[in-house]
Amino acid sequence: MTLPFSSLPVREAVWLFPVAVAIHFSEEAQRFAKWAREHISPLYTDAHWRKIHGMGLALAIAWSLFLSLWPHPMAVFACWAFCFSPMLFNSVFHVAASFFYRSYSPGTLSALLQFPPLFWYLASVFGKAGLLSWEMAILATIIGAAVHALDLASLTTLCSRSLSSPYGINPALRSILRAK
């Protein structure tokens, strides 16, 4: 039995990514900003969510267009490092945040059901096409982890005016930062 997506060429397979991103963002859209205000920072706004995620969806489409037009090993590596891998780590964020705060982080279900399988599927497609070796995939994934960590750090920094403000930063994060 052949699975429906098992034989997609690279130029078509990359378009699964913005579809997955759009589905994930649609799960987050109604509740994530409220959840983030309650658990991360009261300064996180719906407008902030719309701006960041609007740019994120535009970038997912742009990267997919770029790869569909120019499927080259360097382009695949850059996209893997700065687009695909960070979304894999987005799944980790949602699960960890849900566990840490003991409250479902909107987006967890769609992130878990889509990004890990899509990550492995695209790795397979790129590998079979000779566009991404396992060594380069691992390096790009490490870079992607750093990119996602910086993204989360910037969110925390942008949503916190100062450590002295009682409304500026999550109390657990404040105590960790003060301890250093």
In a domain, 93, yes or no: yes
SS3 9: coil
pLDDT in tens, 36-45: 999 988 888 8
Asked, for residue 2, whether it belongs to a domain, the answer is no
Is 98 a domain residue? yes
Compute the residue count for the chain. 180
How does the average pLDDT of the chain come out, rounded? 85
Structural domains counted in the chain: 1
Examine residue 27 and state whether it is found in any structural domain, yes or no.
yes
**Rounded Cα–Cα distance for residues 179 and 95 (Å):** 26
- Enclosing domain of residue 122: 10-179
CA–CA distance, 29 with 100 (Å, rounded to integer): 21
3 within domain boundaries? no
Residue 59 in domain? yes
Instruction: For 45-88, write each residue's pLDDT tens digit.
Output: 899 899 989 999 999 999 999 999 999 999 999 999 998 998 99
pLDDT per position as a tens digit, 114-139: 999 999 999 999 999 999 999 998 99
> Nearest to residue 8, comparing CAs of 118, 132, 155?
118
Is residue 5 included in any domain, yes or no? no
The beta-carbon contacts of 45-52 under 8 Å, at least 24 apart in sequence, are: 48/158, 48/159
Query: Looking at the domain assignment, is residue 33 inside a domain?
Result: yes
